[in-house]
Amino acid sequence: MRHFAVVGSGPAGFYTAEALGKAYGEQARIDIIDRYPVPYGLIRFGVAPDHQSLKAVSKRYDKVAESPGVDFIGNVTVGRDVAVEELLELYDGVILAIGAPHDRKLGIPGEDLPGVVGSAEFVGWYNGHPDFADLNPPLDGTHAAVIGNGNVALDCARILSKTRAEFDGSDIVGHALEALDGAAIRTVTILGRRGPHQIAMTPKELGELGHLEAAAPLVEGADFPPLQADDALEPGQRKSINILREFAATAPDVSKPKRMIFDFFARPVAIEGDGKAERIIVERTELDESGAARGTGETYEVPASLVISAIGYSSPHIDGVPYDERGGKFRNEGGRIADRLYAVGWARRGPTGTIGTNRPDGYEVAELVAAEMPVGSSSDRRGAEGLKQLLEQRGVMATDYDDWRKIEETEAGRARPGSPREKFVRAEDWLAALGR
């Protein structure tokens, strides 16, 4: 028998557990440990609440959690409640799948002003992440800006621009829905350091902007290279650029009161305001020979009382685990960090790729584990039994699969009209739902 601890119950954690289960069958016990009593990582706290079909992937993860030999241990933060070193004593293999939950800093003056938030904070706020329940982003100004040219930036801009009715069927949390419904924001500027060809936005997410009830996208035709340059793009990117070109060619629908302005070749150099964010100072850029953004020296102001930076994420440090500062992830080679210690998903690769990208990643690392600890081999490590004993001694109230289900059922029972559930937004409410 082998015992494996998969730390983190996001996509990477579940795909790894699935792969280990397939490889070892009855010869391994796999514990999926998470800091929260509810699983799924960014599927719950990141993926946009109005993209319910994407969140349905969690049904596959449920099957993994229900399979024999797999257990869920929630409400346990590795690195705080239990050290990685201790897990390595209890388990044959420890796989870190803790994602990359921290916002990268902009590194410009004014980024600590009230009104400037990271996308992890803003997204967490509307998705019911307990760390951001009290974020209260300022929504009383008419102008907001999102810094970044990826899908997360698009999510933030779209959520700021939707009407209440457009959230029907979503699981946006009530506090965010109310606040957004009362928001005064009419213009959202999306700032990118480079041009349309360099975006990291996918066609589906871009296309949605053309069909919003109250908001219209605005793109400057002069920002594009000549049409023939699109031929060199890979097909998905070409599709995205086509959508942007269509936006540029269409006169904005004046019946829509809100605008989403794509401001390309725009590098924020400072955020200014009287005790809070009021404007971004932006430097116009151009592409240099290597395709990087080069400042032109010309600056201008973009008004914004809410500034959301969506420029990437990093994993947290965990004591004793080597870290790659530049990549914002654990130092690893093909998923291997050290003897019997591995990383998968964003903790392994950094914050790129889709949910599906984590699948081959998890399977690859499971293969590596199985090569190092062949199926049929065994050890006398104690696994969950030892972990639970340790947690009890420390007064850590671990939760299990039944607790997770009970919380989800309670949330579903609190659903308001037009929403499948009302998520709890405070950690203590999860435990209260369990009567603890």
Ligand X SMILES: Cc1cc2nc3c(=O)[nH]c(=O)nc-3n(C[C@H](O)[C@H](O)[C@H](O)COP(=O)(O)OP(=O)(O)OC[C@H]3O[C@@H](n4cnc5c(N)ncnc54)[C@H](O)[C@@H]3O)c2cc1C
Contact yes or no for 73/387 (Cβ under 8 A): yes
- Name which of 270 and 434 has its Cβ closer to ligand X: 434
First to last CA, the chain: 34
State the minimum distance, in angstroms, from the CB of residue 16 to ligand X. Answer: 9
State the minimum distance, in angstroms, from the CB of residue 238 to ligand X. Answer: 20
State the minimum distance, in angstroms, from the CB of residue 262 to ligand X. Answer: 19
State the minimum distance, in angstroms, from the CB of residue 119 to ligand X. Answer: 6
**Among residues 2, 3, 6, 9, the one that binds ligand X under rule CB under 6 A:** 9
- Name which of 155 and 171 has its Cβ closer to ligand X: 155
Question: What are the backbone angles phi and psi of residue 156, rounded to the nearest 5°?
Answer: -60, -45
* DSSP, residue by residue, 282-315: EEEEEE-TTS-EEEEEEEEEEE-SEEEE-S-EEP
State the minimum distance, in angstroms, from the CB of residue 180 to ligand X. Answer: 16
66 vs 375: CA distance, rounded Å: 22
The reply on whether position 41 binds ligand X by CB under 6 A is yes
Residue 341, classified by CB atoms within 10 Å of its CB into exposed (0-12), middle (13-18) or buried (19+), is: buried
363 vs 15: CA distance, rounded Å: 7
**Among residues 142, 354, 377, 378, the one that binds ligand X under rule CB under 6 A:** 354
The reply on whether position 34 binds ligand X by CB under 6 A is yes
Question: Which position has the token pair 């937004």?
Answer: 425
Part in contact with ligand X (CB under 6 A); list of ranges 9-17, 128-136, 165-173, 370-378? 9-17
**Among residues 5, 12, 19, 343, the one that binds ligand X under rule CB under 6 A:** 12
- Name which of 25 and 334 has its Cβ closer to ligand X: 334
**Among residues 69, 207, 353, 386, the one that binds ligand X under rule CB under 6 A:** 353
Part in contact with ligand X (CB under 6 A); list of ranges 11-19, 168-176, 289-297, 390-398? 11-19
Residues in 69-108 at the binding interface with ligand X, rule: CB under 6 A: 77-79, 97-99, 101
Residues in 144-203 at the binding interface with ligand X, rule: CB under 6 A: 152, 155
**Among residues 345, 350, 365, 433, the one that binds ligand X under rule CB under 6 A:** 345
Residue nearest to ligand X (CB): 10
Which amino acid makes up residue 218? L
341 vs 92: CA distance, rounded Å: 9
State the minimum distance, in angstroms, from the CB of residue 363 to ligand X. Answer: 14
Q: How many CB atoms lie within 10 A of CB 41?
A: 27
The reply on whether position 398 binds ligand X by CB under 6 A is no
Q: How many CB atoms lie within 10 A of CB 273?
A: 18
Question: Which position has the token pair 């990437």?
Answer: 312
Q: How many CB atoms lie within 10 A of CB 186?
A: 15
**Among residues 19, 28, 42, 366, the one that binds ligand X under rule CB under 6 A:** 42
- Name which of 42 and 173 has its Cβ closer to ligand X: 42
Sign for the CA dihedral angle at 78, 82, 83, 84 comes to: negative
State the minimum distance, in angstroms, from the CB of residue 321 to ligand X. Answer: 10
What is the enclosing helix (H) or strand (E) of 3? strand 2-7
Q: Which of 107, 108, 110 is nearest to 273 (CA)?
A: 110
Torsion angle of the four alpha carbons 242, 244, 249, 251, in this order, in degrees rounded to the nearest 10:
140
379 vs 377: CA distance, rounded Å: 7
Part in contact with ligand X (CB under 6 A); list of ranges 1-9, 17-25, 128-136, 224-232? 1-9
- Name which of 60 and 416 has its Cβ closer to ligand X: 60
Q: Which of 52, 53, 72, 50 is nearest to 61 (CA)?
A: 72
- Name which of 10 and 141 has its Cβ closer to ligand X: 10
- Name which of 47 and 271 has its Cβ closer to ligand X: 47
Which amino acid makes up residue 23? A
Residues in 111-130 at the binding interface with ligand X, rule: CB under 6 A: 123
Structure tokens given for 218: 């605005």
**Among residues 2, 3, 4, 13, the one that binds ligand X under rule CB under 6 A:** 13
State the minimum distance, in angstroms, from the CB of residue 54 to ligand X. Answer: 5
The reply on whether position 317 binds ligand X by CB under 6 A is no
- Residue 143 to residues 58, 184, 331, Cα–Cα distance (Å): 36, 8, 40
State the minimum distance, in angstroms, from the CB of residue 316 to ligand X. Answer: 7
Residues that bind ligand X (CB under 6 A): 7-13, 33-36, 41-42, 46-47, 51, 54, 77-79, 97-99, 101, 123, 152, 155, 345-347, 353-355, 358
